[in-house]
A and B are shown apart, each in its own frame.
Chain A
Amino acid sequence: MLNRKTENLLTRCITENKENVYRLAYSYVRNKDDALDIVQDSIYKAMTHIELLKNPAAMKSWFYRIVVNTSLDFLRRNKKVDTMDHEMIETYSPGTEDVYSDMDLKRTLEDLPVKYRSVIVLRYFEDLKIEEVAEVLNENVNTIKTRLYQALQLLRVRMKDDTSKEIT
């Protein structure tokens, strides 16, 4: 079978990254049971639709993408996403200094719209390259760079010089 080899590779990829994808799922849903469900669903989806993976070299990004999409699906289905209107984004953007300076860091990250949260988590926490983040989120590299920049603006995180070089 043509797929047998890819199947073995995928099994290994899943096993090696299981803790990472659990954390990734957790970063979206913020609770253990839902994160475990998402991991389980994602594995099932990946394994049974292995024929859709066209480039085995991009396996990890592909699997991460399934995890991200499954998490987003879950949020959508459970309506746990807080939508942000213009006013709220205004509040978070620079210019309204110190309003949230006392806020818990975790809350700050959680309050980011998911599209910003995804880039932060994948780039800095999962330590993926910009190109890989783009692959996972199915966007082009420039979009990801812009989004990462905006995300950092929103977080108002002071970055070290070496890391900021990466996004320019």
Chain B
Amino acid sequence: MNNNIEQLQKEYQEVPIPEELDMIVSRSIQQSLKRNRNKRTKYKWFASAGTAALIFLIAINASTSVANALSSIPGVDRIIKVLTFREYIVEEPNYDANIKIPAITNMDNKALELGLNNKYLSENKALYDKFQAEMNDLKKQGGGHLGLDTDYEVKTDNDRIFSIGRYVVETVGSSSMVVTFDTIDKKNQILITLPMLFKDNQYIERISDNIKEQMKAQMKADPDKVYWLSETDDDVPPTEEFKTIAEDQSFYINSDGKLVIVFNKYDVAPGYMGSVEFVIPTEAIAGDLVSDKYIQ
């Protein structure tokens, strides 16, 4: 037996370093630095908006007449549609959780409002409990790192449509990000689902084809972009390949009245691409739409 660790070590050291490495490393550093800068300014903005929301919340809770007075002022009515209802924060060495729960107010359809708010509350409570359990487990095992961040963003708020997106980022060495959206028809006070917008199931194929076209075009225009499409890249593992959207794929309707399809991190592209969105041109789906009420 001449198996020898030194020989294995030599083989390891002889793995050639590709020339792209330098470029990839410095590019990744630059991109992340840029992202960090953006994130910081965004957080600052959130912080001040958060304070404002808190004052609103206190005022509204303190007196229903304040709430009524606020909602009767034109313009203010929009601002108080969504509030940070509750925040859970864990700040311990190695363990971070920052959970923001939105609450929708001022809807005429109280059953829907209550349903959505209960959903937000129970989902976030479940995440928080899970985080606590994992944290205690890790502590028993002698420590580790854990992070949880949930937040929300109002994507669209116009006369007709209200879209709210919620983000869950879990960090355990690597991070995963899950995005979910709720879109409400303000006039009829109903929750809009994707299948409801279309006459039949044809939309799945129609939208998927359009997204594939967009992926191809984006990859052609920018070599930094990668999507898991088998037609352009033979290395794509069959399990990862993007074939079609789900029947109830995440979506929202943007302020231009366009349908936007959203994928979670890792779903259709490598992790560094993050969560990706595609705006579907209305012409591509016009024939399948039930009406042009929501999507124009």
Contact = CB atoms under 8 A, between A and B. Distances in A.
Contacts of A46: 32
Contacts of B12: 23, 27, 121, 125
Nearest to B21: A22
A151 to B, nearest CB: 10
Contacts of A7: 33, 36
Contact of A47 (B5, B7, B36): B36
Contact of B25 (A41, A43, A163): A43
Interface in A26-47: 26-27, 32-33, 36-37, 39-41, 43-47
Given A14-B29, A18-B22, A140-B142, A48 B39 contact: yes
B8 A52 contact: no
Contacts of B5: 120, 124, 155, 157, 159, 163
A124 B9 contact: yes
B74 interface: no
A45 B174 contact: yes
Interface residues of B, number: 49
B168 to A, nearest CB: 15
Nearest to A18: B25
Interface stretch (B129-137, B152-160, B232-240, B256-264): B232-240
Contacts of B33: 7, 11, 47
Nearest to A104: B11
B3 A157 contact: yes
B171 interface: yes
B29 A43 contact: yes
A155 B9 CA distance: 13
Contacts of A11: 29, 33
Majority-rule SS of A interface residues: helix
A86 interface: no
Contacts of A157: 3-5, 8
Contacts of B172: 69
B167 to A, nearest CB: 14
Contact of B237 (A43, A50, A78): A78
B173 interface: yes
Interface of B: 1, 3-5, 7-9, 11-13, 15, 17-18, 20-22, 24-26, 28-29, 31-33, 35-36, 39-40, 93-94, 96, 142-145, 147, 171-175, 235, 237, 239-240, 266, 270-272
25 contacts: A14-B29, A22-B21, A27-B12, A27-B15, A36-B20, A39-B21, A39-B24, A40-B25, A44-B28, A45-B173, A45-B271, A47-B29, A48-B39, A69-B173, A77-B240, A77-B266, A78-B237, A79-B237, A79-B239, A108-B3, A125-B8, A155-B3, A155-B5, A156-B1, A159-B5
